[in-house]
Structure 1
Amino acid sequence: MNDFMHKLPQFVGNHLFLVALLVAVILALFVTQVMVWMRKYTELTPAGLTQLINRDTPLLIDLSASADFEKMHVPGAKHVAMSQFDPENKDLAKARELPVVVMDKDGRNTDSAAQRLIKAGFTRVYTLGGGVLAWQAAQLPTAKGRN
């Protein structure tokens, strides 16, 4: 250990770029983790969503493109185009106390929708990590068509 400590300054001096890159990666991981801890919604796995469905009656909102929704969606999910998504809608306002799960085809575009729901006063907001593709990969049942 003592030998390591004596050679560390020399290594840092000789490999400044690598050390800077390591510090940047560690900082990026730290910032990402802090952002995850501070967000007010929870990302669910397909198994976590299954548990939520079994113990509660969540509102499932699928923001996928219409063609993707018709090919495959989580049973019971309601399709809403991202351009039509409005958490302030009077029909949606009735569900403020229900758990709301936002999903799309691959889970990439749900963060902004979840943030909008929280801003509108929804208290139990979730996203499906990996989207409907993760649901299918977990070999859970999917539905086809508009309903």
Structure 2
Amino acid sequence: MEYVDFAIKYWYLFVALLVVLALLGLGPISELIHGIKHLNVWDAVRLINHESAVVVDVSEQHEFKMGHIPNSINVPLAALAKRVKELEKHKEKPIVFSCRTGNRSSRGAVILRKHGFQNVYTLTGGTSAWERDNLPLEK
């Protein structure tokens, strides 16, 4: 009964908690709905080396210049929806999304899935994880 009294007395905190939980769940739910697959660094390497995956880095240009996965294509997240046509030639290949930490990659992957791309992945941990596993970065 104490919990109910607390929820009634501090209803605004209860509502705020629900909003925060909903916002935290939107990303993973959207990824699940759109069929986004997550890769660790070594699965991404395998996909790049054996299935000619294309790496799309959705970092801002200044972040990309600080270091990126070799041969990756920089398409900042804010510009991705407008630049999807540039990636059409890679539509049949696996596409691995990356960014500095992996947070923006999922949003980029959802955009491409909405444009009909089927083999879309995100690199868990982004280029930070790539670097942590002692793999090379281009600058």
Calculate the TM-score normalised by the size of structure 1: 0.70
Superposition map of 1:1-147 within 5 A: 35=29, 37-85=32-80, 86=82, 88-89=84-85, 91-144=86-139
Q: Secondary structure at the match of 1:102?
A: strand
Q: Is the 8 A contact 1:61 1:101 kept in 2?
A: yes
Determine the C-alpha separation between the residues in 2 that align with 1:83 and 1:113. Answer: 9
Deviations 1:12-71 (A, max 9, x none): x89x69xxxxxxxxxx7xx96x83654411111111101101211111111112221111
Determine the C-alpha separation between the residues in 1 that align with 2:83 and 2:111. Answer: 7
Determine the C-alpha separation between the residues in 2 that align with 1:113 and 1:65. Answer: 13
Q: Normalized per residue, which structure has more helix?
A: 2
Alpha carbons of structure 1 residues 37 and 79: separation in structure 2 relative to 1, 3 Å = closer
| Unaligned ranges ≥5, structure 2 | 5-20
Question: Max radius of gyration: which structure?
Answer: 1
Q: Secondary structure at the match of 2:90?
A: coil
Q: Which runs of 4+ in 1 moved over 6 A?
A: none
Q: Is the 8 A contact 1:87 1:117 kept in 2?
A: no
Identity %: 27
Number of residue-to-residue matches in the alignment:
123
Calculate the TM-score normalised by the size of structure 2: 0.74
Determine the C-alpha separation between the residues in 2 that align with 1:92 and 1:126. Answer: 14
Q: Secondary structure at the match of 1:94?
A: helix
Determine the C-alpha separation between the residues in 2 that align with 1:39 and 1:83. Answer: 19
Q: State the match for 1:20 in structure 2.
A: none
